[in-house]
Structure 1
Amino acid sequence: MLAETICSAVSAAGLGIAAVTACRKRFLAATRIAAYSLVPIGLALTGVMAWAVDIVFKPSVWLGFGLLAAAWLLFVTTRAVERRGGGTRKERRAAERAGRGEAVAPAASAPSLGSGAPATRAQTARPAKTKQSSASPNEDFSDIEAILRKHGI
């Protein structure tokens, strides 16, 4: 009963503000204010306010919201760990097979472009080792020397 009275008062005040705004020849703003002010009384008349009051004051409902929040937190945590740990289980198995020298299908070994998962450490470490072993120490500094010569240093 108290919720309906408060909603009625808020709606009446909003309609009064809308009338004052319309008197100032700001009809678009007055219409928008009137629309917002009709929402509380509409909610009260449809019974949504009674439903909301029942939700707020029931401990079992709050327990349900708490369980939903815990489930959401678990989903978010597992997703963050998955992204940090090198992708999905399928991608980790493919990386392990590649590390042991087993034949891996190309689709399973290469991460998809839209997956958003970073390459695993095994996939990124292997090309770096082969690149370092094939390059001589003088070739490593040739690029730097060329840049320095270009800038006159």
Structure 2
Amino acid sequence: MLAETICSAVSAAGLGIAAITAYRKRFLTATRIAAYALVPVGLVMTGVVEWVSDIAFKPSVWLGFGLLAVAWLLFMTTRAVERRSGTTRKERRAARAAERGAAVGPAASSPSLTSGAGATAPRAQGGSGKKPRQAAEPGDDFSDIEAILKKHGL
């Protein structure tokens, strides 16, 4: 009786944590937590100690096995979704860290975007557009590289 109460309380707490995790939009983690939370109740309902003698006559035992099957399906579903995404937890963590580092990058690369826009402006002023565009002067090829080197103080 005491073991059932403790396992029920642990399961209820685990399902509450899963609900909070799902509220934070971390659905794979929430599903995995829910699966872990269902295991104690499933084990209690199966009657681990007396399950051999009572397995055929207790519907609660079959419900316990059903809950264990649901927990197993939840585990396997989260694994399949993880594999389908093609990344592991470590790779996703590294990608998030790279995104945080790259958040500074676009602000620093904005001057090169303006030079790219300036390169297309003479073409728009070039007239009807039927004439082939003239080759760039040799000095223009290195202007972008010079701008990058100046920006970094080299």
- Structure with larger Rg: 1
TM-score normalised by structure 2 residue count: 0.32
